[in-house]
Structure 1
């Protein structure tokens, strides 16, 4: 029996959802100015107020005055900006890039934004007033010179220099089940019980006053939509739509102020809370977390009674799935390459275990999978948890959905991630309740401020700096830190130690910048609304960015592990063991990008062991790099009293950083990309099949990379053409997880289709691909990132 295609599955959604989806993907994102205007006015009006109250009044002004709309046919309402797919401006974080790019946002190859001349003029009037008063300005004044230099030259990437922290999974259940009015009463009680002898009395009281302001503003924001829906209903002639609008009005009058009672109310309450988090701060990766656990109680009764329209429940979920794709963010040019394709990383995870250790799979878990299949858009970024007790039917359904090529769900392994959570200090019940935030970063919802956007370090650049003794021949620049001339390093162990000294030095610079940013965010842009739903913040009387959360981590990420391991393996083999290449020969070849040295490049490329082929020679090197990074990172603490951890994933930083790294000893030329993912192999170098590749990756001690260990795999659609193929697919996942792999995700698309999509983009408006820990519309990413996905090894068989 022939399996249906992805396109056929997408026809199974309702006409309403098809229309909403069509309008969304055919809308060019626009930069909107409401938020920038309103926050600027608020800050001018509250100059004499304590800073935390200024933040509260600013969010209040935004929620009470920004433009709102209800799109025709919508069932879940609430907008981030004045236009569909619009992106607000957040001047408190940075204004330089907006002012510099106002006339070029629409000229970008990817992540384009249009902006009207009127709005350009508004921003040219408003934004200069913020100069010297932003997060970026404050941090730059404090950065040590060498650390700032490393950041500016992209040896290290700081992801929170011009934007919010994001990367949160709040306790949505707390908000939906209790309602904001109930939470306000709790806050008022805490405030009444403050001890006037407590030295922190004043700061705690200011905090409580501030969170009450934002909670009341959130209720008023929802009421504005209730009024709008009522107004639209009054003039609506279609009786069906009129009834819908009246229900929307009733829902928005009730939630999130009061506890939700129906499934529709729960979804609307969730959306308002989720939306306001992103109006407060523009940090991405605001993730729904275990949606199937906290929303299911509102669906379970109606499903059991079977007296309500089951198809309508599906339509509600589909409408919410479309809404996720309305959330957008404008990034500076550099970060639009590092985060290509307008990704917002709203990770929603299903399955796994309950806090008590029972199977957590329920009917909503399956409905979420089906919604992703039907709607076919990149957000939410759907993930699935697996453990030994997972139902085979659940894994099979996950595989079936993934086989349609959206790159979702990504798969996560409870058998390693729960022990990692325990290793970090979470209780067993908390650990079992982990979810994934952003790309691939496991955390526990509602109790954690993990600062997972701890930036990125370019591991392969440090190979170059070791070989050339701190000289960057790409930029023709000498850095202060040197590890000696390589010709004086007599053994591979000595060279390797020199490399780890470079790594240690630049990690130190990166931590210095990150900790400064951590402090600046806590003092200048505390996220009040977020802190209401992060446990211990209310009790401690401070936001999560100020250390109020129960658990506090910071997690930088390592980019290009595969190129690093392959380069070290080539150096070990050819220079130190075989002695068939001299340092002089290699340095000349690298400086000249292998011009007139193609034969040497081919030797490096084809005769040295390559990570991803179950070759112990190079796999041991990759493992050691991970272990040394882990050992080094554990030396550091953050300003919130927490420890550092690290992750192995790249987003699309491997594209951004590629031409910042010269030719490398693995045979890569400067213009070639670095390896994608985090623990993935360099493109096309895994020659021995998928099993060998998985064994190489599993050889890494993934307990060490507690921030993430992201693995991309590309399968040919023919691999999954029948039930046997789907069974083999499930076997790949289980085999890797039994080897203690953390995470695995799949692109199921053939290179021929992608090439055709490059030539004829109009034929593929809904072609979704997996980049790293996120999926995007193929037409929304630049040519280099498209090429990266095409060049990845495409497995045809086991």
Structure 2
């Protein structure tokens, strides 16, 4: 059961004491704080558990991303949830002693200044004189936050070595590099994990002793045995492998779980072949893990990767991949974000299973093309083939190299808003606030290239500042903590004796989430055609119409809507999207190099902000009205794709894939089409993956179902839809997002 507010408040006092007493050594401080934290945040087993590990975070603690929550930096390194703390303090006022009250007020004052998020704000403000906006409704073209997210660790190393093997590796590196408090802290972290296993082992034995059924008694005895074995030995069974991966992940708030089929595949296949496990029992173990995923419910992360080139154990991995997809088919939730990496020559059974699961409206697995992405990743990251094969999508679709890099996405850039600022000489017309550079009055933008340059000039300074913010995000984190949980399983931290953010990780990367690229490109295409080429109206006249939200000027809106649109295999429209996308990619990359990052690249994803940020954008020349959603990720403007699925996929495949580290392509089919013509759909998708297509998010649901769900939500509680880089239950979504999804094109026969 979860702790009470009173318990959590008293934990604040002890955590603060440990932090302050160890302030002279950030490595040992983190290890000792984590040891105390882990003893209290891990929730006891319940009677339905099959895998141990649940948490209930406190008001103060250490995490890269507390419970997946990062709003206003609440989960960044040493965090302080002040709002929750103050409310708890008020509720418990009568239960606290006078000395406790005094000490808690002192702790509040201490953490208000000492939390790492504030330190990052101050570091940025010292350079630029302000704290960057953290909300999407804020004026301007961008916003950013702080966290360390999306890192995928080398779980192969964890599974191969186990806790004692990891400690032996550290001892060997001490002999080679000399002892240090960093190495000592790593060993303390391993010890904390072993103690967590022991606490759960005792709980499992107690539950077994009180079980009323043979099934539950057997389950808890098996779990206790696994937890005992894992304290000092590498896993020898599938259950032990899953438990080891999970106790590590839940103890340090990892939200993405890498190539699970590969690092657990040999254990799964070995159990099956030896008769220790049936396929059904294997699926049940996966479902026990999925229940933990659902409890955290981090729908924007929680990636599990299967398939792909570069796996160590492809045959065993394929067997587990099918079981993982079957578990997803039964689970039917927004997590995990199951992701399949497709490649030419892969197992047809695996691909068929993926299509079968998607056909049921599950929205998973998401499918990525290794044929496209591995060569692109080699170029965009400047790495060899072997490392590029370890790319994994995380979050809403950003890439990171599992075990080799970090790549946190902490900012959003709105290209459509940049066009609005360019058309108003730096003023955000929706908010009526001057927030961008002066890039020219309308009379000065007397050629299309001048307008286009003005858009880039609105974007560039923000991108450069955000690159600096990304770099500071890592530097400030490293100044305050070694991030032991990351450093232990990232190359080359243990090898060199350097923590992840002090030069240890091989590639210090970051990514910038971009929105409104297609809406901006379609708007630029319309402006070039109507204003500069055909001279149907002046730029001043068009801007006046946009500022009036097309009121009384439907003929102008019709011209805007009829202009060439991306998504129809139209080279005029598609080339504009390609150009803008590439230029934004180049500016971002250069900004990152200047700031000190190995790579800083754009991603074109969607975490519902295409709709929600669009709600704070004025009307645009693509024909979109004020407040309407922007085009979703690399998808077309709503309703603009009118030439069929092949034309849409052709447009999506034209981008230069060396300019980005992740794009999202949403495609919706009717169930009838998947049922009647599943083989044809599969053939079309394979052709797309083999010819420059990056990935697809498949959603198999009809428009009628969505309309009915909006009218009768109580009857459609289990209807799943793709938002962009993640899925959700349709009835739980903001109505703005629901309407945007409804208006997307559904492809039928």
- The alignment's TM-score, normalised by the length of structure 1, stands at 0.84
Cα deviation 1:765-798 (Å, max 9, x = unaligned): 332221111122223322222222211111113x
Q: Kindly indicate whether the alpha-carbon contact (under 8 Å) linking 2:468 and 2:595 is maintained by their aligned counterparts in 1.
A: no
How far the C-alpha of 1:325 sits from its partner, in A, is 1.1
Of 444, 452, 463, 1:507 maps to: 463
Distance 1:646 1:36 in 2: 41
Distance 1:127 1:751 in 2: 51
Of 749, 760, 766, 2:701 maps to: 749
SS in 1 for 2:170: helix
Matches for 1:238-317 after TM superposition, within 5 Å: 238-255=213-230, 257-278=232-253, 286-306=255-275, 308-317=277-286
Identify the residue that residue 341 of structure 2 maps to in structure 1. Answer: 385
Distance 1:593 1:94, change over 3 A: farther
Identify the residue that residue 550 of structure 2 maps to in structure 1. Answer: 594
Cα deviation 1:468-494 (Å, max 9, x = unaligned): 010112222123511111222221112
Of 168, 185, 195, 1:185 maps to: 168
Q: Kindly indicate whether the alpha-carbon contact (under 8 Å) linking 1:256 and 1:272 is maintained by their aligned counterparts in 2.
A: no
SS in 2 for 1:757: helix
How far the C-alpha of 1:542 sits from its partner, in A, is 2.5
Of 628, 633, 636, 2:588 maps to: 633
Distance 1:121 1:727, change over 3 A: farther
Distance 2:6 2:681 in 1: 47
SS in 1 for 2:509: strand
Identify the residue that residue 444 of structure 1 maps to in structure 2. Answer: 401
Cα deviation 1:331-377 (Å, max 9, x = unaligned): xxxxxxxxxxx524111111122357977862111111111101112
SS in 2 for 1:672: coil
Pair 1:712-2:695 in alignment: no
Identify the residue that residue 608 of structure 1 maps to in structure 2. Answer: 563
Distance 1:33 1:468 in 2: 54
Pair 1:564-2:520 in alignment: yes
Pair 1:788-2:743 in alignment: no
Of 123, 126, 129, 1:142 maps to: 123
Of 540, 557, 568, 1:584 maps to: 540
Matches for 1:707-746 after TM superposition, within 5 Å: 707-722=661-676, 725-746=677-698
Distance 1:657 1:628 in 2: 22
Q: CA RMSD in A?
A: 3.1
Pair 1:686-2:641 in alignment: yes
For structure 1, the residue ranges without an aligned partner over 5 or more in a row are: 1-26, 104-113, 196-203, 279-283, 329-341
SS in 2 for 1:628: helix
Distance 2:474 2:79 in 1: 19
Pair 1:170-2:129 in alignment: no
Pair 1:698-2:658 in alignment: no
Distance 1:766 1:120, change over 3 A: farther
Distance 1:295 1:73 in 2: 23
Of 27, 37, 41, 1:52 maps to: 27
Q: Kindly indicate whether the alpha-carbon contact (under 8 Å) linking 1:359 and 1:390 is maintained by their aligned counterparts in 2.
A: no
Q: Kindly indicate whether the alpha-carbon contact (under 8 Å) linking 2:396 and 2:725 is maintained by their aligned counterparts in 1.
A: yes
Cα deviation 1:267-310 (Å, max 9, x = unaligned): 111111121220xxxxx7x3111111110111212322446433
How far the C-alpha of 1:416 sits from its partner, in A, is 1.6
Distance 1:435 1:91 in 2: 23
Distance 1:231 1:305 in 2: 30
Matches for 1:616-695 after TM superposition, within 5 Å: 616-635=571-590, 636-637=592-593, 642-676=598-632, 678-695=633-650
Distance 1:774 1:119 in 2: 41
* Number of aligned positions between the proteins: 723
Q: Kindly indicate whether the alpha-carbon contact (under 8 Å) linking 1:68 and 1:78 is maintained by their aligned counterparts in 2.
A: yes
Identify the residue that residue 324 of structure 2 maps to in structure 1. Answer: 368
Q: Kindly indicate whether the alpha-carbon contact (under 8 Å) linking 2:719 and 2:729 is maintained by their aligned counterparts in 1.
A: yes
Distance 1:564 1:91, change over 3 A: closer
How far the C-alpha of 1:220 sits from its partner, in A, is 0.6
Distance 2:595 2:522 in 1: 36
Identify the residue that residue 211 of structure 1 maps to in structure 2. Answer: 186
Distance 1:167 1:127, change over 3 A: farther
Pair 1:529-2:510 in alignment: no
Distance 1:715 1:470, change over 3 A: same
Distance 1:721 1:120, change over 3 A: farther
Identify the residue that residue 62 of structure 2 maps to in structure 1. Answer: none
For structure 2, the residue ranges without an aligned partner over 5 or more in a row are: 59-65
SS in 1 for 2:490: coil
Q: Kindly indicate whether the alpha-carbon contact (under 8 Å) linking 2:9 and 2:89 is maintained by their aligned counterparts in 1.
A: no
Distance 2:194 2:201 in 1: 11
Distance 1:323 1:359, change over 3 A: same
How far the C-alpha of 1:574 sits from its partner, in A, is 0.7
Distance 1:456 1:711 in 2: 18
How far the C-alpha of 1:509 sits from its partner, in A, is 2.3
How far the C-alpha of 1:627 sits from its partner, in A, is 1.6
